[in-house]
Chains A and B, each alone.
Chain A
Amino acid sequence: MLELYGITVRSRLLLGTARYPSPAVLSEAVRAARCEVVTVSLRREAGGKRAGQGFWAIVRALGVRVLPNTAGCHSVKEAVTTAHMAREVFGTRWIKLEVIGEEDTLQPDVFALVEAAAILCRDGFEVFPYTTEDLVVAQRLLAGGCRVLMPWAAPIGSGRGLNNLFALRALRAHFPAVPLIIDAGLGVPSHAAQALELGFDAVLVNTAVAQARDPVQMAAAFAQAVEAGHAARLAGPIEPRDLAAPSTPVVGTAFTG
Chain B
Amino acid sequence: MRILVNGAWRESAGGELAEVLAELGYGDAVVATAVNGEFVAAAARAATPVADGDRIEVLAPMQGG
Query: Which A residues are closer than 8 A to B by beta carbons?
Result: 16-20, 26, 39-48, 50-53, 55-56, 59, 68-69, 71, 77, 81-82, 84-86, 88-90, 156, 184, 204, 206-207
Contact = CB atoms under 8 A, between A and B. Distances in A.
B30 A89 contact: yes
A85 B32 CA distance: 5
Nearest to B25: A47
A42 B63 contact: no
Contacts of A88: 32, 39, 41-42
B25 A43 contact: no
State which size class the interface on B falls in.
20 to 34
B58 to A, nearest CB: 5
12 contacts: A17-B65, A26-B63, A40-B61, A41-B65, A48-B25, A52-B30, A69-B64, A85-B34, A85-B59, A88-B39, A89-B31, A156-B65
Contacts of B31: 45, 52, 89
Given A42-B64, A81-B37, A89-B30, 10 more contacts: A41-B65, A42-B59, A44-B6, A45-B6, A45-B31, A46-B6, A47-B58, A84-B32, A88-B39, A89-B59
Nearest to B62: A43
A85 B33 contact: yes
Contacts of A51: 60, 62
Contact of B63 (A19, A82, A85, A86): A19
A227 B15 CA distance: 55
B59 to A, nearest CB: 4
A183 B33 CA distance: 28
B34 to A, nearest CB: 6
Nearest to B33: A85
Most buried by A among B6, B7, B60: B60
A45 B31 CA distance: 8
Nearest to B41: A88
A42 B38 contact: no
B33 A59 contact: no
B43 to A, nearest CB: 9
A56 B31 CA distance: 11
A206 B32 contact: no
User: Chain B CB within 10 Å — which of A18, A82, A89 has the most?
Assistant: A89
A97 to B, nearest CB: 13
B24 interface: yes
Contact of A50 (B29, B32, B37, B42): B29
A206 B65 contact: yes
B61 A90 contact: yes
Contacts of B63: 16-20, 26, 40-41, 55
B26 interface: yes
Interface in B6-65: 6-7, 24-26, 29-34, 37-39, 41-42, 57-65
B64 A89 contact: no
